[in-house]
Structure 1
């Protein structure tokens, strides 16, 4: 029996929209939970998401729409839930969902962030707070910008699950003519890597805004992958290859691509914007802003040497002068 069943997606942003496009390539019908009834109404009228990836048409007759207010009905309507909302909002959604409902579902986290108030991985939150069995918790990640999915450009994903057979089943759903999806058991490592790469992309953006050259950027990212590896191995020791696309590949595309909102956010800071001004000007959430605080606080228990992540935290939350912070950081690189 297929463990995936009917898929439901929570989220109405660009990443959720890209995932919906990918899923509907192989699935006959999905449930989709958007934030408001007006969003649903406009989506149905236009035949596409009115706010994100507006060039991507959807077969409305194959989508069962729900809103935040009826999220429990949404969960009842599907067998597998994909979480794809910005991390600052995930706790609010999950609080609304009855644990008795959610624990019977397969839940894949596609959010590249943590639960901010709790400093918890979303997989941990699902298990400890919502009582979802470990074997029913998974993650979807990889170098896969929503804007490129919209154009059918070749993209790569990894489906991770504590139960590898469920990861394989999700991989079959996500694989199509332009998306390749592999599997992994490393749910925790993938989640942490997804958070860290956004922090490092902010650093790359800051340095770009300050007109640091390609030579410096290459050394920054070389040190970033080493830092990522050290941290992930300290918090969750497992045999993994950080050069795989879900770790290094996702870091590279987030740090270098103009589609990256975290790089864009950092670039604005490097050009002289204040943190608040940069946030106000951006139309989408830069996950690395929240991730920097979470990782900094989690690392107080592990004390891993993380100069790049710490520098980003000091700039964002302690008001450290960017020029001084990056100059000091540059002297630590090999």
Structure 2
């Protein structure tokens, strides 16, 4: 039996804890709220975040030192805005080298750091090359109910990636490996922006044609920015790319889609975030991607439009009109061009 700590008792952290418990691991689920830990241990439920039964071998705690004592792997599943603080706390209590895996999706505004970079900066004994990311099309609600799900784990340290694969994989939760941690992290973060756009489109009452176009052109934007930063363009055609993009843009399980849907129906951002009651990572990521695009001089019209809606109070219909009236251009100058440039040499 392997002891594993999951830091973050939201919907995704709880779902991943269930996967680990199904695999026979001794799971410590950490939350910073003692009352939440007590409720989980007493009722084996985490109803605010997830409608699922929690196996008895999952022990919740609000004591970080207790959570990580004796574990061989730590899975970090907290909102990106909490990554640095949690890792600073973790660095103070951790006493031995363990495998660090994160399953958070986002980019830090201003610094433009990915999650693995933030973790390595706050944890002195862990290099970014050794950290593992888990990402892919995976709604927590479906994972918790053992519905078939496939994800990817990625690290520059191949041994660590295989450790992550081994502790998670089972008949319901299939896990692939990839060496392109840059592409995997960027795909998982940037798709939330397009999911906001898909929700806005649905909230405006537009149909499947509009959403299909948004997803396709959104993928082109993601790949354009990602490859400019050095990611493998093929990563964006895989599970953490187009796979995660599809599931996040087309499901009511998606917080980003739901937030966008409310925006499309005329609600303001502050009101939307209050009504959601949970973190909407795409809102924070829009700021970072907008800054990234300017610094890299990468054209990202959908991201720019959503930025204008969120932070400059632009009317969503006006933004759609601007997108539809952009200058004429060829379609295959994006992802196909990137692939041709990379593989025709």
Task: State the TM-score, normalized to the length of structure 1.
Answer: 0.92
Partner of 2:340: none
Greater mean alpha carbon deviation, residues 236-245 or residues 275-284:
236-245
Partner of 2:276: 282
Shift of 1:198: 0.3
Output the aligned Cα RMSD.
Answer: 2.0
Partner of 1:12: 9
Determine if the alignment matches structure 1 residue 235 to structure 2 residue 229: yes
Rounded to whole Å, the distance in 2 between the matches of 1:159 and 1:184 is 6
Change (3 A) 1:318 1:211: same
Change (3 A) 1:181 1:102: farther
Unmatched tracts of structure 2, length 5 or more: 332-345
Rounded to whole Å, the distance in 1 between the matches of 2:249 and 2:95 is 35
Shift of 1:117: 6.0
Partner of 2:26: 29
Question: What SS does the aligned partner of 2:187 have?
Answer: helix
Determine if the alignment matches structure 1 residue 298 to structure 2 residue 292: yes
User: Any residues of structure 2 matched to 1:1-334 within 5 Å, and which?
Assistant: 6-59=3-56, 62-67=57-62, 70-98=63-91, 101=94, 104-116=97-109, 118-131=111-124, 132-238=126-232, 240-332=234-326
Structure 1 residue ranges (4+ consecutive) displaced by more than 3 angstroms after TM superposition: 115-118
Greater mean alpha carbon deviation, residues 94-103 or residues 40-49:
94-103
Change (3 A) 1:291 1:167: same
Rounded to whole Å, the distance in 1 between the matches of 2:25 and 2:318 is 55
Q: Is the Cα contact below 8 Å between 1:27 and 1:173 reproduced in 2? A: no
Question: What SS does the aligned partner of 1:55 have?
Answer: coil
Question: What SS does the aligned partner of 2:236 have?
Answer: coil
Question: What SS does the aligned partner of 2:234 have?
Answer: coil
Greater mean alpha carbon deviation, residues 201-210 or residues 5-14:
5-14
Change (3 A) 1:251 1:100: same
Greater mean alpha carbon deviation, residues 9-18 or residues 291-300:
291-300
Unmatched tracts of structure 1, length 5 or more: none
Rounded to whole Å, the distance in 2 between the matches of 1:8 and 1:241 is 28
Question: Over residues 48-74 of structure 1, what are the superposed CA-to-partner deviations in whole Å (9 max), with x where a residue is unaligned?
Answer: 224222322321xx334331xx32443
Question: Over residues 284-314 of structure 1, what are the superposed CA-to-partner deviations in whole Å (9 max), with x where a residue is unaligned?
Answer: 2111001101111233321111111111111
Q: Is the Cα contact below 8 Å between 1:31 and 1:77 reproduced in 2? A: no
Question: What SS does the aligned partner of 2:258 have?
Answer: helix
